[in-house]
Amino acid sequence: MRKLTVEDVEVAGKRVFVRVDFNVPMDADRNITDDRRIAAAVPTIEYLIQRGARVILASHLGRPKGKFHPGSTMDPVADRLSALLGRPVRKLPDCVGPEVEAAVAAMSPGDVVLLENVRFHKEEEANDGEFARSLALLADMFVNDAFGAAHRAHASTEGIAHYIPGVAGFLMRKEIETMGRALADPARPFVAILGGAKVSDKIGVIDNLLTRVDALLIGGGMAFTFLKAQGHEVGKSLVDEERLGYAGEAMSRAREKGVRFELPTDIVAAERFEADSPRRVVAVDAIPADWMGLDIGPDTARRFAEIVRGAGTVVWNGPMGVFEMEAFAAGTRGLAEAMASSGGVTIVGGGDSAAACEKFGLADMMTHVSTGGGASLEFLEGRILPGVAALGDKEPGVW
């Protein structure tokens, strides 16, 4: 269903509760190390400011497990957002209660406040109705711009929309439009690349993509489950033993559907899971029994890159190796470079893939880098995201 957006409603003078995803990484001194999620929400916030809305921002940060935690307060986020907006953003002491209500009542058109971490209340993740109603009492309307949290039915992402009208922000619209178009009407050839650790994390994605793509490239730790299912000995490489049967079935389905299913033919093997471990490139049928694969090899990287450069649409979720260690980053870097130089539509599905693109300085060269890890995975599975379903419908159809 098409969803209403901030452009479809009158916001002037209104109190607008905006759920954003400001769950950003920080160092030990609580300095923000990557503000991409904050910057991604700025267009929606500025749109509301310019039209005289009173903007009430809400987010989670970290995993405080329903209680106050000094390392998860929103203060550093308020400071960074103030710098990005060029105007003060007041951080309130809580997200509900009389003090918060009074502060919101005193707001003028164009003012912006940031509520304290919603996950300091256990009722947030429980999607408690009374807590959701308390959040809704702060505002006249709800804008969800937190795609990264849209797969969670929490009070501030789904419950609040039962009490006040909900619409999508610009970031939410972009995420759904871009990935929705790739799945529904992709420029072909349509290539999907999956990596990461476990096959079990990607079963739904594989099942959905096998009905849509022309080629599926598998790398990362999950590749070894497929290689073992083919009969290869993979040494001490990561294997999802419970999914060996599924891996074989998935490859059979790909053959039946005419989907090109590509696995590594060579890998970078190491003696230990350590940055300075002895390592060498070996064929997938020559992995030493006491070694493990930690990256795709150069031949595989070249083959994957060639497929990517010939694609009309590429969707990528999951790194090709342990890219955090430079010794095992070449496969992921090569894939990112191939996507960046591609003439097709290139979509990076959040999480570690997005982090890799940022690390290699290539994020700005992609068509779209998702702000949602888990949410992008569930979207690629074809699931309905609760935080999207709760928003008002414009008319039947596709975004």
Q: Report the alpha-carbon angle 45-48-52, nearest 5.
A: 135
What DSSP letter does each residue of 318-373 carry, written as one string?
Answer: S-SS-TTSGGG-HHHHHHHHHHHT-SSEEEE-SHHHHHHHHHTT-GGGSSEE-S-H
Which of the residues 148, 195, 196, 351 is marked catalytic?
A: 351
* pLDDT tens by residue, 21-69: 999 999 999 999 989 899 999 999 999 999 999 999 999 999 999 999 9
If you ran DSSP here, which 8-state letter would residue 78 be given? H
Average pLDDT, the chain: 94
Spatial CB neighbours of 373, under 8 Å, sequence gap ≥ 6: 148, 349, 350, 351, 352, 354
pLDDT at 396: 52
Confidence tier at 1 by pLDDT (50, 70, 90): very low
Per-residue pLDDT at 399 exceeds 50: no
* pLDDT tens by residue, 311-366: 999 999 999 999 999 999 999 999 999 999 999 999 998 788 999 999 999 999 99
pLDDT at 271: 96
pLDDT at 395: 64
Q: Has 374 been annotated as catalytic?
A: yes
Which of the residues 272, 374, 382, 394 is marked catalytic?
A: 374
* pLDDT tens by residue, 215-243: 999 999 999 999 999 999 999 999 999 99
Give which of 17, 32, 12 is closest to 95, Cα–Cα. Answer: 17
Q: With contact defined as beta carbons under 8 Å apart, do 339 and 354 qualify?
A: no
Q: What percent of the chain has pLDDT over 70?
A: 98
Confidence tier at 373 by pLDDT (50, 70, 90): confident
* pLDDT tens by residue, 104-154: 999 999 999 999 999 999 999 999 999 999 999 999 999 999 999 999 999
Q: With contact defined as beta carbons under 8 Å apart, do 146 and 20 qualify?
A: yes
Per-residue pLDDT at 98 exceeds 50: yes
Q: Has 236 been annotated as catalytic?
A: no
Which of the residues 37, 173, 236, 333 is marked catalytic?
A: 37
Which of the residues 133, 181, 198, 260 is marked catalytic?
A: 198
Q: Has 198 been annotated as catalytic?
A: yes
Q: What tokens does 310 get? A: 């010939």
Q: What is the set of domains in the chain, with CATH numbers?
A: 6-174 (3.40.50.1260), 186-380 (3.40.50.1260)
Per-residue pLDDT at 397 exceeds 90: no
Q: Has 166 been annotated as catalytic?
A: no
Side by side, the strands of the sheet bearing 313-317 are: 260-262, 215-218, 190-194, 313-317, 345-348, 368-369
